[in-house]
Chain A
Amino acid sequence: MDRKLVFELPNDLGCIEGAVEFVLLRCEFCEEVSRRLRFNFRVSFVEALANAMLYGNAGDPSKRVRVEVLMGRHALEARVIDQGSGFDPDRLPDPTAPEQLHRPCGRGIFLMRKLMDEVHFNDQGNAVTLVLRFQEREALLREASA
């Protein structure tokens, strides 16, 4: 059965680690999935939350970040929504280009796209959805353990 988590965070970077653990503790998946959850999802989720707080909400402590997580049989989806005006995710430079390699920032969305199966932005650019798809075997194991 699908399970949904919805919560809001203050615009505080110190809340990110706790939020990630809160979600992961509620994902009772098989061992096969857990490595991708533990690493790929964790890193991508941190990136999404940090981007929302630092860039979307521009560090404004009066703003909040909304999180919606849908744990389904075939996929885990996490939507992170900030209160900013949005941006165009297709106009970001490639952080692996030689002229970008020495920059200390600009790798967050690149990593999300590499580590997750799907990454979607809404038209406004203030909400990102991360999708981690389970392999068929993983889905069967998950169903069997339910």
Chain B
Amino acid sequence: MAFQVSREGDVLVVDVDGQLIVGNRQELKTRVLEELEKGDRKFLVDFTNTGYIDSSGLGVLVSLSKKIREQGGELRLSTLNEDLRTLFELTKLDTLFRIHDSRDEGLNGF
């Protein structure tokens, strides 16, 4: 299982274990959209245990963020290591997401 889903108050937290790439992005998308459908509006994707993300992984985050915003919600990201942060900066996606240094910081701001 590449994703661990838990709840912190009214925030749905998704931990990405290992990698978020073309081979498993659909699993994340399906799971988050299911929770959005059920009524969740606050989502935090935490990358503490993530080794790498490819462009499909970035794409699924962009796509989910858009769908969540359309429903009046928000998708935030937290705990990106230096390499992952570089990916967001190179692609300028750091301007599209709220990126927090830690999971707690991400949760507190909601």
Contacts and interface: CB of A to CB of B under 8 A. Distances in A.
A107 B55 contact: yes
Given A39-B51, A101-B96, 12 more contacts: A16-B22, A17-B23, A35-B83, A38-B52, A43-B52, A47-B54, A50-B54, A104-B59, A105-B56, A107-B91, A108-B56, A110-B55
Contacts of B83: 35, 39
Query: A-B pairs with the 8 shortest C-beta distances?
Result: A104-B59, A107-B55, A104-B63, A108-B55, A50-B22, A96-B92, A39-B83, A46-B54
Given A17-B19, A50-B22, A54-B22, A101 B55 contact: no
A4 interface: no
B62 interface: yes
B94 to A, nearest CB: 11
Contacts of A91: none
Nearest to B81: A39
A103 B89 CA distance: 16
Interface in A22-45: 35, 38-39, 42-43
B98 interface: no
26 contacts: A14-B23, A16-B23, A17-B19, A17-B21, A42-B51, A43-B52, A46-B21, A46-B52, A46-B54, A47-B54, A50-B54, A50-B55, A95-B91, A96-B90, A101-B93, A101-B95, A102-B96, A104-B60, A104-B62, A105-B55, A107-B55, A108-B56, A110-B90, A111-B54, A111-B55, A111-B87
